[in-house]
Amino acid sequence: MVMHMEPGKRLTVAVAGASGYAGGEVLRVLLNHPHVEIGALTGASNAGTRLGELQPHLLPLADRVLQPTTTDVLAGHDVVFLALPHGASAAVAAELGDDVLVVDLGADHRLLDPAAWERFYGSEHAGTWPYGLPELPLAGGGRLRDRLAGTRRIAVPGCYPTSVSLALAPGFAAGLLEPTDVVVVAASGTSGAGKALKPHLLGSEVMGSMSPYGVGGGHRHTPEIEQNLALAGGTGVSVSFTPTLAPMSRGILATCTARLAAGVSAADVRGAWARAYADEPFVHLLPEGQWPSTAQVHGGNSCVLQLAVDEHAGRVVVVSAIDNLVKGTAGGAVQSVNAALGLPEDTGLSAVGVAP
């Protein structure tokens, strides 16, 4: 049975982990959603605190007080967003039951391959949930959104995998790219690292500075990217992925390069990408000559793309820009919730960025 919104009904929504950046952004997006009533907000060490102290930008919710993250508190809502530490969501979801739409903003249920999970996360795999990247083209035709209709469980993609998979998938889907020697270097704003108090995330350290991390294949988003590209048609794909930390609060700029298969022309390339996203409200291939910036997607649910063929190097370079907290987290999550509930996917979501 596909669960659909009834006309005029308002969904009650709870957010577990409302004090962090992901949880806060879910609330910011939901405040603009016409069919949502915001219910319980929970935190761990912050239970008992006014939201106004933790998320002062959410002025309409300033007087809400965080409750502890228990199933009693979360039960009775139509949708529950989980912004919890790794490993915590499966147990919560089990207790909430199948009539609740549970949306995991964490990584627990993203990977199909338990071995990959265990290699990168070092714990037992909690099982796979439908993956919330609606626009991803699938090798056999269709899109990932087809698997979201009616689901009661959604695994929200990682922010890097969102930006990289949308950038490269059309090429694999169209058979234009070699699966080896894919190289991705991405720059992320610091909110991608969360609100954890770590010395290298202090403002004094990050302003005016760029630095890499998770270099050499160790970043946990690598298997997730490869899984997505394989779904799109990139059999046996291997990706060299290097993330870097950039001096900005939000945004991911992903520079994604792959070798072109023999005989592929620049026109083939542009055509494939243009067709892939022609009807997508949130993925935009820019006119030739215009390149994306993270500023243009700041606060919006868009993924903006541009590409160029480098004939000398035999490669295509695709650059994508997203807001890591919106299209890369909260906006993508709400988009998938809309898909699951049979609502227009763009309900309550805006493609417009806040710039300059």
- Catalytic residue set: 159
- Please calculate the CA angle 52-58-64 and round it to the nearest 5 degrees: 50
List CB contacts of 199: < 8 A, sequence separation 6 or more.
205
The window from 6-14, 79-87, 137-145, 244-252 that contacts its own copies (CB under 8 A) reads 244-252
Q: Which residue has the tokens 């160790």?
A: 218
Query: Smallest distance, Å, CB 128 to its own copies?
Result: 21
Residues 188-207 that bind its own copies (CB under 8 A): 189-191, 193, 195, 197-199, 201-207
**Beta strand pairing call for 182-188 and 239-245:** parallel
Site size toward its own copies, by CB under 8 A: 96
Closest separation in Å from C-beta 322 to its own copies:
11
Residue of the chain from 39, 161, 251, 332 that contacts its own copies (CB under 8 A): 251
Rule CB under 8 A: choose which of 67, 302, 329, 338 binds its own copies. 302
75: tokens are: 């039960």
The distance of closest approach from Cβ of residue 353 to its own copies in the complex, given in angstroms and rounded to an integer, is 3
Cα 55 to chain centroid distance, Å, stands at 21
- Closest to its own copies by CB, 101 or 316: 316
d(CA 65, CA 40): 9
x/- mask, its own copies, residues 254-293, rule CB under 8 A, reads: -x-x-x------------------------x-xx--xxxx
Decide if residue 4 touches its own copies (CB under 8 A). no
Nearest distance from C-beta of residue 312 to its own copies, angstroms? 5
Distance CA 43, CA 64 (A): 12
Can you tell me whether residue 50 is helix, strand or coil?
A: strand
Let me know how long the chain is.
356
